[in-house]
Chain A
Amino acid sequence: MQWPSEMNTTKTLISSKISGQLGQYGLLVAFLLICVALAIISPKFLTVQNGLIIVTQVSINALLAFGVTFVIITGGIDLSIGSIVAVAGVVSASFAHPDSYPVIVPMLMGLLVGVAFGALNGWVITRSNVPPFIVTLGTMTIGRGLALILSKGRPVSNLSDEFNFLGGGKILGIPTLIIILLVAFAVCSVVLRKTVLGRYMYAVGGNEPASRASGINVSRVKMKVYVLAGGLAALAGILLTSRISTGQPNAGEGFELDAIAATIIGGTSTTGGTGTMTGTLIGALLIGVISNGLDLLNVSSYYQQVVMGVIIVGAVVLDSLKK
C-alpha cells in the first residue's frame, strides 16, 4: 500500500510561506489595496489635500492608540483614555480664554490632569489585584463625571487664538496636528524599540513572573505605561479642544474603543507581549481611510459601522492564524 507522496508536502510548504508573509506584510498590503480601491471608485480620494485631511483626522485617534499600544503590550488595557480626553480638554480650555494665561499654561494643566489619571490607574492596578479592565472602567466613569462637574455640563468656549493654533493651525502649509503626530510617533517608537523601558514592556506582557524573576520592577513598568497612556490621552484631548475651539465634556466618548481597534488592527496581540508602533499607526490610518472613503462615497453610517466591525474581527482572526 502506497500513499501519494509529493502533494501534501508541497501544499503545506506553500501555505506556511503564505501565512508567514501575510503576518509580516498583510496589514500594509491590505491598507494599500483599500487605498487603491478607493482611488478607483472615487476620483476625489487620491489628492494631496484629501491625504492631509485623512492624516489630520487620524492624528487624535493615533495619539490615543500609541498610549494604548504601550498598555496592551504589557498585557493591560486602558478604557479611561476617552474620559481623559474630555477632562484634559475641559481643564485646558478653562485656562485658555483670551488674555488670561500664556498658552503653555493650559497645555501643562491639561497634561497634568492626564498624567494624574494615568498615575491613579497605575497605582490602583499595581497595588491591588483588580484587573485593569475594571479599574480603568471605574476611572472612565470618574473622568466623565469630573469633566461634567468642571464644565457644569456646558462646553467651555471662547478660547485664545494661540491656543486654537495648537491643533488647528498650519506650519508651512502642513497642519500642526500632522507635525505633532509624526513627532509623537517617532518618540513612541524610540521608547518602545530602543529604551530599557520599552524592552521591559514586552517582557512584562510576554511573561510577568519571568520578568519579575529577571529583576524587573514590574509595578514600576506598569505605572509608567499607564502614565504614558494618560499623558498621550491628555495631549489628544488638548489638541481636540484646540481643533474644535471648545472644551466639550462629552468629547472623546467611545474613543478608547477606536484606539483599541487601531492597536489590534495594527497587529498588537490582545494577550500582550507583541506589537509595534508602526502597526498601530497603519491601523489608525486604515480606520481613517475607510471612514473618509465611505464618507466621500456617501455610504450610510449604518454600513460604515458594519465595515469597521468586519475589519476588526478580520484583523484579530489574522493575528490568531499567525500563531
Chain B
Amino acid sequence: MNLIKPFSTLALAALLAACNQTSSTNSETTAIEGKKLTVGATMLAMEHEFVVNVHDEMVKQAEKDGIELLTVDAERSALKQVEQVESFIGQNVDAIILNPAEVEACSPAVSKALAAGIPIINVNSETSAKPTAFVGSDDVEAGRIAMQHIADKLGGKGNVLMMEGYMGQAGQIKRAQGAQEVLKKYPGLKLMAQQTAGWDRAKAMELMENWIQSYGNQINAVFAHNDEMALGAVKALTDAGLKDKIMVVGIDAIADALQSMKKGTLDATVFQNAQQQGAQAVATAIKAAKKQPFEKEVLIPFELVTKENLNKYLK
C-alpha cells in the first residue's frame, strides 16, 4: 500500500553523501607503485541484503589489492547517484564503480565519468549509456531459469502468477522478459496476473493474500522477481494452508531463502553470485585504472538452487 514514493530528501543529500562515506584501507600492502589507487563506489541501497553482500566482497577485494575504496549509499535515488558520481569526479578518483538505481536516470552519471576520463564500471545492473565495463549477471537469464524450472515441474501446463520488482528497474524489466520468453514456449502455461510488490516482503504478503482471494485453488505456481517477495508469498500461502499445492520460486538465493528451502517451504531460487560480482567489479576497476587490458563484459552465470543441490549453497 505504498502510495507515494518516500520524500526525496534532497536537502540532506549532500550531507548524507558526505556522512555515508566509509573508507577501507589496508596499510600493509600500500605503496607498491608509490601511489595508492582510489576507487569510488556508489551502491543502489545498502539496506538490501544482496547489495550488502556484493559490497562486502568489494571491500575484501579492495583490502587484498591494497586500494582505497570509498563507498556511498544512493538510497535508491538515481538523482543522488548522479550527484555522488559528480563528487567522485571532483575528488579525482582513479575509477568508479556504479551499482545503478535506474536504467535511464543513472546514465548521465556514466557519461559524466567517461567525459572526465575516469573509467566507470557498472556492477549488477545496467544503464542505457555504455560504461567502461559491465560486471554482473544477465537478469534475463535469471527470469528464464526460474520460469523454466516452473515449466519443468508443472509439465508445461498450469496457472502462474508473477510478482514483479520495483517497476522500471532493470532487474524487474529483464527478469520479467526472461520469464515471458519461457511462457511463450509453453502455451499450456497461463500467466493469470502480474503485479509489483516493490521487492518488499510485507507488500508481497499482502499481494499474495489478495491473489488467493481472486484465484484461490486455480494457482499452481508463483514466480517472484526476488527472494524477499517469494518469502512473503510463502508466508501468505502457508497461512492460508495452500503452500503444499502451490510452488514458489524466487531469485537471489539470500540466506533467509535458503533456510526456507531447507524447511521445505520455498521450492527453488536462482543463485546470483554476489561474491563474484563484487570481486570482479573491483578487479576490473583496478585494471581499467592502471590501463591494463580488461574484459568489457564480465558475465557471472546464474545457478538454479533446488532441494537437490541446496547444501552447496548453505553456509
Contact = CB atoms under 8 A, between A and B. Distances in A.
Interface of A: 42, 44-45, 47, 49-50, 53, 56-57, 60-61, 79, 82, 137, 141, 144, 147-148, 152-155, 157-158, 168, 240, 243-246, 248-251, 253-255, 257-258, 261, 287-288, 291-292, 295-296, 298, 300-302, 305, 308-309, 312
B contact patch SS? helix
B195 A287 contact: no
A6 B279 CA distance: 84
B173 to A, nearest CB: 14
B211 to A, nearest CB: 7
26 contacts: A45-B213, A53-B213, A60-B202, A141-B9, A153-B48, A243-B205, A244-B201, A244-B231, A245-B235, A248-B201, A253-B2, A253-B6, A257-B3, A258-B3, A261-B4, A288-B1, A291-B206, A292-B210, A292-B213, A295-B207, A295-B210, A295-B214, A301-B167, A302-B167, A305-B3, A308-B3
Contacts of A152: 52
Interface in B28-46: 45-46
A254 B196 contact: no
A289 to B, nearest CB: 11
Nearest to B166: A301
Interface in B162-209: 167, 193, 195-196, 200-202, 205-207, 209
Question: Which of B4, B196, B202: most chain A Cβ within 10 A?
Answer: B202
Contacts of B116: none
B49 interface: yes
A286 to B, nearest CB: 11
Contacts of A153: 46-49, 51-52
A244 B3 CA distance: 20
Contact of B193 (A157, A298, A309): A298
Contact of A254 (B5, B209, B231): B5
Contacts of A255: 2
B157 to A, nearest CB: 21
A134 B119 CA distance: 39
B234 to A, nearest CB: 10
B239 interface: yes
Given A154-B52, A154-B255, A258-B2, A296 B46 contact: no
A53 B228 CA distance: 21
A43 to B, nearest CB: 10
A68 to B, nearest CB: 14
B115 interface: no
B38 to A, nearest CB: 24
Contact of A53 (B1, B210, B235): B210
Given A158-B259, A254-B5, 16 more contacts: A42-B214, A137-B9, A144-B47, A148-B46, A148-B47, A153-B48, A153-B52, A157-B255, A157-B256, A243-B235, A244-B201, A250-B48, A253-B6, A254-B4, A291-B206, A309-B4
A119 B46 CA distance: 28
Contacts of A298: 193, 195, 214
A44 B12 CA distance: 46
Nearest to B49: A154
Contact of A44 (B167, B214, B231): B214
Q: How large is the interface on B (under 10, 10 to 19, 20 to 34, 35 or more residues)?
A: 35 or more
Contacts of B256: 155, 157, 246
Interface in B64-121: none
A257 B2 CA distance: 8
Contacts of A56: 209
Contacts of A155: 49, 201, 228, 256
Nearest to B214: A296
Nearest to B2: A254
B278 interface: no
In the complex, which of the residues A44, A244, A261 has the most CB atoms of chain B within 10 Å of its own CB atom? A244
A158 B1 CA distance: 26
Contacts of B3: 254, 257-258, 261, 287, 305, 308-309, 312
Contacts of A300: 195
Most B CB within 10 A of own CB, among A49, A56, A137, A155: A155
Contacts of B209: 53, 56-57
A244 B46 contact: no
B44 to A, nearest CB: 12
Contacts of A291: 1, 206
Contacts of A158: 259
B12 A141 contact: yes
A147 B12 CA distance: 18
A251 B49 CA distance: 13
Contacts of A296: 210, 213-214
A42 to B, nearest CB: 8
Contacts of B207: 295
A60 B206 CA distance: 12
Interface string B112-153: 000000000000000000000000000000000000000000
A301 B213 contact: no
B232 interface: yes
Best-buried of B2, B9, B228, B235 by chain A (most CB within 10 Å): B2
B181 to A, nearest CB: 21
Contacts of B210: 53, 292, 295-296
B46 to A, nearest CB: 5
A301 B47 contact: no
